[in-house]
Amino acid sequence: MLEIKNLHVKLADEDKAIIKGLTLTVPKGEVHAIMGPNGSGKSTLAYVLAGRADYEVTDGDIIWNGESIIEMEPDERAAKGVFLAFQYPMEIPGVAGLTFLRTATNSVRKKRGQTELTTPEFLKVVKDRASKLNIDFDMLKRPVNVGFSGGEKKRSEILQMAMLEPSLCVLDETDSGLDIDALKVVSDGVNALRSPDRAMLVITHYQRLLNHIVPDKVHVLAEGRIQKTGGKELALELEQSGYAEFQGKAA
Amino acid sequence: MAAVEATVEQVKKIDVDQYKYGFETEIESVKAPKGLDEDTVRYISAQKNEPAWMLEWRLDAFQRWKTMTEPTWAKVHHPKIDFQDQYYYSAPKKAAGPKSLDEIDPVILETYKKLGIPLKEQEILAGVQGSRVAVDAVFDSVSVVTTFKEELKKAGVIFCSFSEAVREHPELIRKYLGSVVPQSDNYYAALNSAVFSDGSFVYIPPATRCPMELSTYFRINEKNTGQFERTLIIADRGAYVSYLEGCTAPMRDENQLHAAVVELVALDEAEIKYSTVQNWYPGDKNGRGGIYNFVTKRGDCRGHHSKISWTQVETGSAITWKYPSCILRGDHSRGEFYSIAVSNGYQQVDSGTKMIHLGKNTSSRIISKGIAAGFSQNTYRGLVSAHRKATGARNFTACDSLLIGDKCGAHTVPYIEAKNSSAHFEHEATTSKISEDILFYCRQRGLSQEEAVALVVNGFVRDVLQQLPMEFMAETQKLIGISLEGSVG
């Protein structure tokens, strides 16, 4: 279970508070959506969960599986099962996708006390999971994300997620830059990973992603805190009314 | 990727101060008295039982050296070197003229074992086709052992220590020595010409493909002994040879002077591929100690359609001053330079190449990757020139620099001179900083900081890594990871 308790976050090198008292609980087996206007702190929340150094937690705590993770390095969190699908995945020139996947997979397996995959084992798993995401195996021989289309980048993120077998998946604007067909492929990939052992936090601007990845709960994030929580129908309401009512009223 | 994991394991085992190869072997050695004068030159020559012409050549170089001054144009800083406070010759005492490995001092063999040079294994593997490497191991100044000689002999290839070549093949030495790098070429080349201790000699006869990769491991061992190797490689008409040079040195407090000269000669349609992995002691984390590496390497594409290719991986030395160059004299000849230069701590690198286009329709290619971390300074300095008669000359140059942290520097100093209108030169240069975003991305995927840096840097240098012989690739990936250890907060 993910428990975010009264979280306050500011930028590490300025005094600007971004998240101001955010409290949220996501039990395992559930998918929660976070929606909100631009600048509400959605991406910041994703980065803080993953442990990015540009942000400073000034108050509150993040508990994952009963353990506070805010002092952990990003790779320790990854070993604990935290995975962030990036809104803008990074290009890594010269590093083949397969090399990256294998390094990452074996790195977390080692930290989790699992045996590392041998090359044949690894290739078998990758081929299987890549084909389910409509990823051409040749794409994995290209450098990570270099020259990828928006759709390829997002599919590659979901493949990494499938390979690393995380228990907490945070998807940051995974629908951005996707056409309808790609959206479907990516959503199917995410849905295939839904499991009773896994918690998911889906961050999005738009309701349309939630037609494909149907959430158990929807939270409205504005002005750095959760303003409203409801079922999947809340997303449809927001699509009608917009976020205006949540803005300008926070402390 | 296995290499990255291995890097991390190794990185964990060592601290910045604990240079992996920083051990010293206690062996009795014969030394020339400290300092440099004409008597030193005579002493060295006498120790090696050299013929009179060789001594004359050395003395001539010494006279020229005395009139020269140290170059100051490179972007490196160091205290003035006292050339009288150095030993110019040192040889392990018991190692003269061994017939087999059994005659080698076991302590030396032990040193090689620590360095991972599988001399013994190679003897065992002698009959195996495919991935054979012949090693002419230079321990301080004397070639201790040469393997695979018999096999090479069958192909007509001469691969021996320089001293032996002076005795056995004087006609070749007299014809080619100093024909690419003249005695008075520069201050350090002149010094080397006067006092060179030993090195390797290779001759590939016409239309012969050398049956194996040739390899030399240099190692500086005796305290305060500058090492002055001299390497000469000749590929006769239509011949091919690939030569590997790899280096490590023990830990020291005093700076050690190293001034090697390498000369390559490629005749008509011949090809020489020369690869270097240089990993000498770079000094400690405060910038104390470390090797001063002032090297002159030059290849002469003397024949038409000849080709010389330099590939270098420079991770060691406190100061590197090195410009492996090609003189493209023969029509349609080709020169290549592929370089990875990694600097960390307080290392200073000033390295690059010269491509001198003299013949018609000559072409050259330069790919340089500089990685600067810590407080280091990393300079690419290169010259591409086309002579008046070098019609149709072509060059492509790409210099990329990667900065890790904000206390280091990367500099690119290209000189381009075209003296005829048909020359076609291209130059590309980029400088980038290793991105926090990429590192975070990698770490989110479970890589430690060290693994992430090693992965990103190995990606950055991939174009050049692919030029290395297979034997060196994996080793080099590890080496780059180790060299950058502790480079990011």
Taking 3-state DSSP, the helix, strand and coil percentages for chain A, each rounded to the nearest 5, stand at 35, 30, 35
Look at residue B149 and tell me whether its pLDDT is greater than 80.
Answer: no
DSSP B48: T
CA B54, CA A201: separation in Å to the nearest integer? 78
What pLDDT does residue A167 have? 95
Please report the DSSP string for B181-242 in residue order: S-TTSSHHHHHHHHH----EEEEE-TT-B-SSEEEEEEE--STTB-B--EEEEEE-TT-EEE
The pair phi, psi for residue A225, each rounded to 5°, is: -150, 165
Largest CA distance in chain A: 57
Residue A112 near residue A82 (C-beta atoms within 8 A): no
CA B447, CA B210: separation in Å to the nearest integer? 42
For residues B380-396, average pLDDT = 95
For residues B18-30, average pLDDT = 56
- Among the listed ranges B187-201, B242-256, B373-387, which one has the minimum average pLDDT value? B242-256
pLDDT-derived band at A99 (thresholds 50, 70, 90) equals very high
Task: Tell me which residue has tokens 């360095």.
Answer: B115
Look at residue B326 and tell me whether its pLDDT is greater than 50.
Answer: yes
Length of chain B as a residue count: 489
Amino acid residing at B477: Q
Residue A62 near residue A246 (C-beta atoms within 8 A): no
Look at residue B118 and tell me whether its pLDDT is greater than 70.
Answer: no
Residue A217 near residue A32 (C-beta atoms within 8 A): yes
B450 to chain A: which residues are within 8 Å by CB? none
DSSP A228: E
With a CB cutoff of 8 Å and minimum separation 6, the contacts of A93 are A143, A146, B459, B460
Q: Do A90 and B445 touch (CB under 8 A)?
A: no
What pLDDT does residue B95 have? 39
Q: Do A92 and B438 touch (CB under 8 A)?
A: yes
What pLDDT does residue A168 have? 96
Look at residue B98 and tell me whether its pLDDT is greater than 60.
Answer: no
- Among the listed ranges A174-183, B176-185, B282-291, which one has the minimum average pLDDT value? B282-291
For residue B440 the two structure tokens come to 């975070």
What's the predicted TM-score (pTM) here? 0.80
Look at residue B111 and tell me whether its pLDDT is greater than 80.
Answer: no
Nearest CA in chain A to B446: A75
**pLDDT digit string, tens, across residues A188-247:** 989 999 999 999 999 998 888 999 999 999 999 999 999 999 999 998 888 888 888 887
Closest partner residue to B459 (CB to CB) among A54, A73, A95 is A95
CA B30, CA A63: separation in Å to the nearest integer? 68
**pLDDT digit string, tens, across residues B449-483:** 888 998 999 899 988 888 887 767 777 777 777 77
A113 shares contact with chain B (CB less than 8 Å): no
For residues A92-117, average pLDDT = 94
B455 to chain A: which residues are within 8 Å by CB? 92, 95, 99-100, 103
Task: Tell me which residue has tokens 């070549």.
Answer: B165
What pLDDT does residue A120 have? 93
Closest partner residue to B444 (CB to CB) among A78, A92, A111 is A78
A96, β-bridge pairs? A143
For residue B108 the two structure tokens come to 């030396």
A75 shares contact with chain B (CB less than 8 Å): yes
- The predicted complex's ipTM stands at 0.95
What pLDDT does residue B214 have? 83
For residue B87 the two structure tokens come to 């030993």
CA B164, CA B201: separation in Å to the nearest integer? 9
For residues B17-32, average pLDDT = 57
CA A161, CA A172: separation in Å to the nearest integer? 13
CA B147, CA B347: separation in Å to the nearest integer? 35
What pLDDT does residue B137 have? 55
DSSP helix/strand/coil, B127: helix
DSSP helix/strand/coil, A151: helix
CA B138, CA B144: separation in Å to the nearest integer? 6
Look at residue A17 and tell me whether its pLDDT is greater than 80.
Answer: yes
CATH topology assigned to domain A2-246: Rossmann fold (3.40.50)
DSSP helix/strand/coil, A186: helix
pLDDT-derived band at B28 (thresholds 50, 70, 90) equals low
A91 to chain B: which residues are within 8 Å by CB? 438
More confident residue, A50 or B344: A50
CA atoms within 13 A on the CB side of B437: 8
Torsion, CA B102, CA B106, CA B110, CA B112, rounded to 10: -50
pLDDT-derived band at B379 (thresholds 50, 70, 90) equals very high
What pLDDT does residue B8 have? 42
Look at residue B97 and tell me whether its pLDDT is greater than 70.
Answer: no
Length of chain A as a residue count: 251
CA atoms within 13 A on the CB side of A123: 6
Look at residue B252 and tell me whether its pLDDT is greater than 60.
Answer: no
Q: What is the mean pLDDT of chain B?
A: 81
Q: Which residues of A25-38 are buried (b: 16+ CB within 10 A; e: fewer)?
A: ebeeebbbbbbbbe
B259 shares contact with chain A (CB less than 8 Å): no
The pair phi, psi for residue B356, each rounded to 5°, is: -105, 105
DSSP helix/strand/coil, B146: strand
CA B141, CA B153: separation in Å to the nearest integer? 24
For residues B57-74, average pLDDT = 91
Size of interface A-B (CB pairs under 8 A): 86
Closest CA to B441 of B431, B461, B458, B456: B456
What pLDDT does residue A182 have? 86
What pLDDT does residue B20 have? 52
What pLDDT does residue A240 have? 86
CA B371, CA B375: separation in Å to the nearest integer? 12
What pLDDT does residue B130 have? 36
A86 to chain B: which residues are within 8 Å by CB? 441, 444
pLDDT-derived band at B246 (thresholds 50, 70, 90) equals confident
Torsion, CA A188, CA A93, CA B477, CA B480, rounded to 10: -130
Amino acid residing at B439: L
Q: Do B440 and A74 touch (CB under 8 A)?
A: yes
User: B465: distance to nearest CA of chain A, Å?
Assistant: 11
- Max avg pLDDT among B10-14, B213-217, B426-430: B426-430
Closest CA to B398 of B386, B410, B409, B382: B382
Q: What is the mean pLDDT of chain A?
A: 92
Nearest CA in chain B to A164: B445
With a CB cutoff of 8 Å and minimum separation 6, the contacts of B367 are B337, B338, B339, B398, B463, B464
More confident residue, B481 or B384: B384
Q: Which residues of B108-141 are buried (b: 16+ CB within 10 A; e: fewer)?
A: bbebbeebebebeebeeeeeeeeebbbbbbbbbb
Gap between the terminal Cα atoms of chain A = 28
A73 to chain B: which residues are within 8 Å by CB? 443, 448-449
CA A100, CA A96: separation in Å to the nearest integer? 6
CA B61, CA B365: separation in Å to the nearest integer? 33
For residue B323 the two structure tokens come to 């410009």
B489 shares contact with chain A (CB less than 8 Å): no
Look at residue A249 and tell me whether its pLDDT is greater than 80.
Answer: no
Helix spans in chain A (H): 42-50, 74-79, 97-111, 119-132, 150-164, 180-192, 208-212, 233-241
For chain A, how many helices (H) and strands (E)? 8, 12
CA B400, CA B140: separation in Å to the nearest integer? 35
B461 to chain A: which residues are within 8 Å by CB? 94
More confident residue, B246 or A229: A229
For residues B271-289, average pLDDT = 84
For residues A94-100, average pLDDT = 93
What pLDDT does residue A185 have? 86
What pLDDT does residue B266 have? 97
For residues A148-162, average pLDDT = 92
CA B174, CA B263: separation in Å to the nearest integer? 13
For residues B50-72, average pLDDT = 92
CA B336, CA B355: separation in Å to the nearest integer? 8
Q: Do A103 and B4 touch (CB under 8 A)?
A: yes
Look at residue B225 and tell me whether its pLDDT is greater than 50.
Answer: no
Q: Is the C-alpha dihedral spanning B18, B275, B327, B212 positive or negative?
A: positive
Look at residue B265 and tell me whether its pLDDT is greater than 50.
Answer: yes
B460 to chain A: which residues are within 8 Å by CB? 93-94
The residue ranges of DSSP E strands in B373-480, in sequence order, are: 377-386, 394-403, 409-418, 424-433
